[in-house]
Structure 1
Amino acid sequence: DLGDIDSTTGTVASKTINHANGNIVITINYAKKPVTPTPVEKGTVIVNYVDKTTGNTLETTTSTGNEGSNVNYSTKDTITKYTNRGYKLSHDGYPTGNVTYTNGAQTYTVEFVHDTVPVTPTDPGKPGQPINPNDPNGPKYPDGTGQTDLTKTVTRTINYVGDGLNIPASHTEIEFTGNGVLDKVTGQWTTPLTWTVKGGDSDSGNFEQVDGPKAD
C-alpha cells in the first residue's frame, strides 16, 4: 500500500511505516497541459500616391506586419520616381519618424501636382527631346519650341525708284517673341504659345507712317 496519491496535484499522503517496511518508490506521471498561444494581431499600412492635378491615384503600396513592430518603409524612392516624370511633390503625408503597425489599417497619402516648364526665347525647348531629362521615354518638346522658332521678325522695306532719284530705302523691323508653358507630365500646353512684340505685351505691332519724298 503506497498510501493515497492525488495524481492530479501530485500530492502523496503521509504514511506510517516501521522497520519491516521496504523501500518505497512512487512514480507520478504528469501530462503536459496544452498551451494556447496568444494570437498576434496584424496591422496594415497603406500609402496612396495621388495626382492632385487630375484627381487620379498613381499607385498604392500596402505592407503588413505584427502589431507593435516597426514598418520598414520609406516614400523617398517613389517620390523620386514621380518627380523624374515631371510631377512636383505637393504633400508627403507619411510620417518622418518611426512608424509601427497597429491593430487595423493606417492610411497615408502622398500628393503630387503637375510641374510646368516655360518656353521662351531665353529658355527654349529642344524639339523631339525629353522635357524631363531623367525620363527619356516621357513627353517630348513639340515642334516650334526651339530658340530660332520663338523669334520672328517682320520687315517693311520701302524702295524709291525713279529716274535721277537717289533716295535711300526705308527699312523698318518689328520683332515678335513666342512664349508659352508646357505641362511636364503630359507634354501639353497649359498656356498656349502666344506671340507678342518683343519688349511689350501687344500681339500686334505698328509700322509708323513714312512720308514720300517731295518732288523737286
Structure 2
Amino acid sequence: HLKHQLTPVNPTDPQTPGAPINPDEPDGPKWPEGTDKSSVTQTVIRTVNYLDKQTGKVVAKQVTEQVTYNRTAIVDKVTGQIIGYSTTGGDTVDQTDGDKAWSAVDNKSDWDSVTSPDLSSKGYLAPDLATVAQRTVTPGDKDVTVNVYYDHDVVPVNPTNPQTPGTPINPDDPDSPKWPAGTDKDSLTTDVHQTIHYQYGDGSQAAPDKTDSTTFDHQVEIDKVTGEIVKDDGWTAENGKTSFDSKNSPVIPGYTASKPASDSVDGLTQDSKDNVQTIVYAKTPVAGGNVTAKYVDENGNPIADDVIASGNVGDPYSTTQKDVPGYTFKEVQGNP
C-alpha cells in the first residue's frame, strides 16, 4: 500500500484554494477551501479612541490591542482534502474540529485593561470611562471600537477667583487658550457711593459729610478647553444691599436744615451713578422782635411820628423815607 503524503498549511505557508497542489501536475488535486491565510489565522483588534464629548475631536493618542489565533490544517496531497488539524503546528492530526484547533499566539488571549489618560491639564473633566476593562478574546470574535469621551471643565470666575486676561488657562499646556477680557478683578466688581454734604448758605461746611456705599459682584463661567464665556451669571449686590437709607440731618443750634433727613435711594444696580445730596442750613428766626424808626432833626428833636416794624429776630426789615416840610433827609443812624 502506498502511503498518502500529508502536508501542513499554516499562516507562514498559506495556500491558494483551487490552485494545483503539485504545480507540475496542473490536472492534479487542488488546494481545498480553508487553506488560504485568512482561514488559518485571525487577528481580533480592539481600538480605543479618546474624544472631545462636544466636538468629537481626538484629544489623545489612540490605543490598539490585538489577539492573534493560528491553526495548522493537515492536507492530504493525494486527495486534496483537509483531514484534520494540528494544534502544535506539526504535520500530525490531533484535532478534527477546526473550531477547536485555534491556538493563541504567545499564549495571549486577552486584551489588557487600558487606563484612560488624565487630560485635566488640557481643561477636560474626568472621562466617562476611567478604564477600558480587560477582556478575553475567543476565535471568531469581531473587532471592537471603544470611544472614551471627555467633557469640558467649566470654572466660575468672580471677584474671589479673578484671573489675568491673556494668560494661559491651563499653564501645563503650551497651546492652552487664554483667559478672556473681563475676567480680571476690576471688571468683576464695581462700587456705588453716596455722599451727603451739610453746608451753610455761603457754601461753607456746616457738618462733616455722611457717606455710604454698596458693592456689586459679577460672575462668569469659562470653558477651560476653549477659553470662551459659556455663561454669564450676572451682577449681584453684596449682602443684598440695593438701596441707601434716609439719614437724619445733624442738629446745629441756631440753624435750620433745608431737609430733616436725606432722601432714601432704592433700586441701585451696578450701572447706578454715585448719589450726591446737599442739605443747606439757615439761621433760625427768633419770634417777638420790634424795630422803631425815629425821625429827628440834627438836634434829636422829633419831626415826624415813629414807625415800628415788628417780626422775628433775624428777619430783614425796611422803612420808607418821609418828606417833612422844611427838612432835607440826611442819613440813617443806628444799628438795630
For normalisation by structure 1, the TM-score amounts to 0.69
Q: Which residue of structure 2 lines up, in the alignment, with residue 34 of structure 1?
A: 7
Give the aligned length. 182
How has the CA–CA distance of structure 1 residues 65 and 138 changed in structure 2, closer, same or farther, with 3 Å as cutoff? same
Give yes or no for the alignment of 1:133 onto 2:171.
yes
Secondary structure of 1:144's partner? coil
Aligned to 2:153: 115
Partners of 1:116 and 1:184 within 8 A in 2: yes
CA separation of 1:100 and 1:158: change in aligned 2, threshold 3 A: same
1:37 Cα offset (Å)? 1.7
1:157 aligned residue:
195
What is the RMSD of the two structures over their aligned residues, measured on CA atoms?
A: 3.0
Tell me which residue corresponds to 2:182.
144
Runs (4 or more) in structure 1 with deviation over 6 Å come to none
Unmatched segments (≥5 aa) in structure 2: 12-39, 70-103, 247-261, 264-278, 285-336
1:97 correspondence with 2:134: yes
Taking the aligned partners of 2:211 and 2:184, their CA distance within structure 1 comes to 27
CA distance in 2, matches of 1:183, 1:135: 15
**1:168 counterpart SS class:** strand
1:194 aligns with 2:234: yes
Q: Which has the higher contact order (CA 8 A, sep 6+)?
A: 1
Q: Say whether the 8 Å CA contact 1:51–1:113 is kept in structure 2.
A: yes
How has the CA–CA distance of structure 1 residues 140 and 64 changed in structure 2, closer, same or farther, with 3 Å as cutoff?
Answer: same
**Alignment CA distance shift 1:101-1:177 (3 Å):** farther
> Which has the larger strand fraction?
2
Query: Whole-Å Cα distance in 2 between the matches of residues 138 and 177 of structure 1?
Result: 27
Partner of 2:56: 56
Residue type matched to 2:49 in 1?
N
Q: Indicate the structure (1 or 2) with the bigger Cα radius of gyration.
A: 2
What percentage of residue pairs aligned between the two structures are identical? 29
Given that 1:157 and 1:170 are in contact with CA atoms closer than 8 Å, whether structure 2 keeps it comes out as yes
What 5-or-longer segments of structure 1 have no aligned partner?
1-5, 10-30
Quote how far apart the aligned CAs of 1:182 are: 0.8
- Give a deviation string over 1:142-188, Cα, whole Å, max 9, x none: 12222343222121223234336522212121111121211111111
What amino acid maps onto 2:48 in structure 1? V
Q: TM-score w.r.t. structure 2 length?
A: 0.47
CA change 1:109–1:93 in 2 (3 A) is: farther
